[in-house]
């Protein structure tokens, strides 16, 4: 499992390295530039999916049960004290954002996604470092 976790963490790091260029764009630029908008949305989707893969693997190793949802993956890491409950809740909330993006929920998707660009990046960066530390322990 360690090799799989290392590979998933490498994927997350690659996505994180691609994302900073989008943390300083304006809402107008985000809204009007379809390529930037779609890239941000896709990277958020990838953050959540690879993050929940990592969380699911870690949880399955500690509890012999795989969480059923992206949300549950992150919450369980907080319950097990692998992540702080605060970070676990932020990560779990990102699963809802991913669903909003994928399923086009709500009229205000653009403003919600845009408002979460920096916080989400910071949360996943912290998640990466916490999971790396967990893996190396």
Provide the b/e sequence for 96-123 (b: ≥16 CB within 10 Å). Answer: ebbbbbeeeeeeeeeeebbebbeebbeb
Q: In sequence order, which residues have a C-beta less than 8 Å from that of residue 37 and are 6 or more positions away? A: 30, 31, 110
Which range marks the domain in which residue 92 is found?
A: 2-136
Nearest residue to 125 via CA among 43, 34, 28: 43
The model's pTM is 0.90
Tens of pLDDT, residue by residue over 59-114, are 888 765 677 788 888 998 999 899 999 999 999 999 888 888 887 765 668 899 99
Domain count across the chain? 1
Q: Which two tokens stand for residue 64?
A: 């012999």
Taking the CA atoms of 19, 113, 47 and 136 in sequence, report the sign of the dihedral they define. Answer: positive
Give the pLDDT confidence of 14-71 residue by residue, as tens digits: 999 999 999 999 999 999 999 999 999 999 999 999 999 999 899 888 765 677 788 8
Indicate which CATH number applies to the domain containing 113. Answer: 1.20.120.580
- Buried b / exposed e over 26-43, threshold 16 CB at 10 Å, is eeeebeeeeeebeebbeb
């Amino acid at each position: 499992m360690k090799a799989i976790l290392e590979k998933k963490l490498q994927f997350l790091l690659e996505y994180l390295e691609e994302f900073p260029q989008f943390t300083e764009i304006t809402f107008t630029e985000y809204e009007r530039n379809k390529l930037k908008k779609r890239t941000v949305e896709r990277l958020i989707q990838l953050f959540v999916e690879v993050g929940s893969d990592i969380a699911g693997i870690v949880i399955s190793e500690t509890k012999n049960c795989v969480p059923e949802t992206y949300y549950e993956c992150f919450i369980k890491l907080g319950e097990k004290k692998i992540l702080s409950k605060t970070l676990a809740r932020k990560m779990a909330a990102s699963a809802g954002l991913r669903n909003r993006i994928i399923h086009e929920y709500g009229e205000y998707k653009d403003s919600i996604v845009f408002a979460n660009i920096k916080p989400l990046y910071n949360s996943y960066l912290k998640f990466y470092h916490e999971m790396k530390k967990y893996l190396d322990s």
